[in-house]
Structure 1
Amino acid sequence: MNQAVAADTAWMLAAFAAVSLMVAGLALFYGGMVSVRNTLNMAMMIFGALAVVGVLWIVVGYSAAFGNSLGRLGLLGDPFEYFGSSGLLTAPAGALPPAVVSAFQLLFAAITVALIAGAVADRMKFGSWLVFAGLWAVLVYFPVAHWVFAFDSKDGAVTGGWIANKLKAIDFAGGTAVHINAGIAGLALVLVLGNRQIFPNAPRPHSLPLTMLGAGMLFFGWFGFNGGSALSAGNSASVAVLNTLAASCAGICAWLAVEKVREGRATSLGAGSGLIAALVGITPACGAVSPLGALVVGAICGAVCCLTVSLKYRLKLDDSLDVVGIHLVGGILGTLLIGLLGDPAAPNAVAGLFYGGGLNQLWRQAVAVLAVLAYSFVVTWIIAKVMHMVRGIRIDRDSESEGLDVAVHGETAYVLDTFATATAPAQPADAVGAAESLTAAAESASRN
């Protein structure tokens, strides 16, 4: 292995490690935003998605996403070319080890599925969620990842996806495949699942410090997410990291400014949400715009997403943790803004409308957005509808009222009995009953 490949491999391993932290970050970010009665269930949905999708990726996902296209349309990679991750144990001379690329992309797949969980918090059966996660990964994510991330080989021996190679839309790290895909899937799943019993009176976030900590961990991991998508330790990764940082700062400022004007105060939840909205928007554009353009992308996403998250109350659509309002809207904005702000001096070397490129890149970005929206929504709705008819996907009313932590997992997030170490251990049934009482008291105090 030459020095350049060794350096690239080291960077990819570091990026992989950073992105792996996003799993815990998302669990904390979502977990702090839900009721104290559903914190563990939210974390379990995130880690459950990682486990199920990870197994499927090793068996068939990498091959379906990055294998040679079946036919000339570029719709799906050959699922048997690397079946069981065969062929990933040796690296071609002068190339990145395919094993590190597969591990990196496995996390992309898992996090995309996990994002959907926020839209249906507090009301979906855990077993049904795991089944849905597996079906959605195979039928939606793997094909779309092939469209967007699989590029033709230089010698023409391997054919990739149609969005990357035929349409030539730009998506540096997953605005379409990850955020639009997850956001529109969340919308379809909410339409089938229905609103929570208490909607529109949603419970207050039980721990904003946890949410802020989760946002910080996601912020850290996003540098690996975007920078690692360059697949090399060079200028492209450096520009992606700088643009990601610039957009994040602008997104927080914009969200808080809108929040201050509308509500008269700037909140910690707003700061965390503005950060995530900007990160979503810059994900597809981090290799296509200048740092100044990144500020614009971040500011637009922060401001617009702040305005759109409240629409769920007018539309009577219970998108519990604003997956649609942030990931769908932010992903669309970031992807389309490439067509306006694309700087030919940036690594992707595309000229947007404001840089003399006319509408050429904008229409390509728009087609990519529409294609992912249509495919993901229709297939997700069919998956959810069939599952709903066959086995049911919604928790019963009593369990929803009681909270899924106790009803589904038999656990509580917090034990408030300070005398536990000074007394004999309670019997399991007594412990659960005491925990339920303490949980209810804590939530009552929080509401008051």
Structure 2
Amino acid sequence: MPRNTLTALPQPIFNEGSVSPDPTRFKTAHPSDSQLYKEIQKLLTKDVVSFGPSRLPPDGMVALQDVWGAHGPEIIKNIQSAEKIVFHAAGDTGASNEGKYANEVRVCDQLSSDCRTADEANRPVFLFQLGDVVYDFGESRYYYDQFYDPFRNYPAPIFAIPGNHDSFIVPNTPADATPLEIFERNFCATEPVITPEAASLHRTAMTQPGVYFTLDAPFVRIIGLFSNALEDPGVISSQKGKWPTVPDVQLTFLEAQLNLIKKQKYPGSVILAMHHPPFSYAPPKKSGGAGGNHGGSPAMLREIDSICLDAGVYPHVFLSGHAHNYQRFARRIRFRNQQYEVPFIVCGDGGHNVNRMVTGRAGQPPREPYFGADVHYLESKPAVTSTGLILKHYDDMNYGYLRITVDKQKLAIGFHLVNAGRLPQSRIDMVTVDLARHTVTGN
């Protein structure tokens, strides 16, 4: 039976218990929003949103064990016995029309199937969703079709940071139905509850402390930032008054988290995640082509880099969505008298759409970049000493997701295509980072 109120439960529930057939169509019709987009085009470039602080102090963290509830101690014990943790990441999963729905369902099915492996040591223990859960603008009525039903068989927690489509406020939206309020009801609950958006399904709301947070798990910490509601660029602060309605709480939060890592001499992997990518491919201006549908966010990256410099801690990898394809950059920086190589990964092909990296101009065919292309021109007044930016790999034809493995020595991130055979055959890219040296040791 559909629910009109929150249903509190003593323990979290993550799936329906038994594998059920794929949904084939929406329960709620999703008409075209083409006219709406025309009307709000200018607003998408200037209407940021405000948001409240996390329930936790700036140096507080969400423990994976707590999120699993009564099963938490067993999950952590299994991870420690395996001496590694495995998890998923994907962005832009929501399908906005029935023509795209099968793509999202296939992604969700492959993620869910991966979790059912008999090899416990290689079983993913959560999904980190990189934003844009529900299109077009995080409406409550679309959460069932775009989130709860496709993920009904995923047997693990799903964390999420909001994307622009989970936060942009369309004019005349009721004050009690803003996208972030709905997102927080489904991902930032104070206890395990089944929300009205889940209808007859049983996945309980995630219990994140806010739209930004740190997930603490064995071998890894993931710092998730909310990069706000613009089409481009990403915004994590007021930027010294440029966006006065955006609070600066995330700068304080990021500083506190990095200082804690420094103070604790934390030996594990540090991942920084935000929806808008710091880098997204665009061809050189004289190439005769145009870039994809989304660009990078250099001002946001400068703020992050400055905080990292002050703290003396730099993430091992950056994860983002937003651009609807897969891109992996290698950024070389000089940091605290050491040479680091840092992967910047975009994985925004989780079900909504796949966009080409380049479009041609004036009737010219698009000139696709090659693997290993020098794209240092994408850097813009970096706050750290950047010594190179290379586009190592990309895929702009297929849907996919990330499968991430972390142990005491290394972080390995594989990009997997959907419907490409068995799990080993579906992986088309891999990057491995040495945690102690901040160097890439294998591809």
TM-score, L = length of structure 2: 0.27
Higher relative contact order (CA 8 A, sep 6+): 1
Q: Which structure: larger Rg?
A: 1
Structure with greater proportional strand content: 2
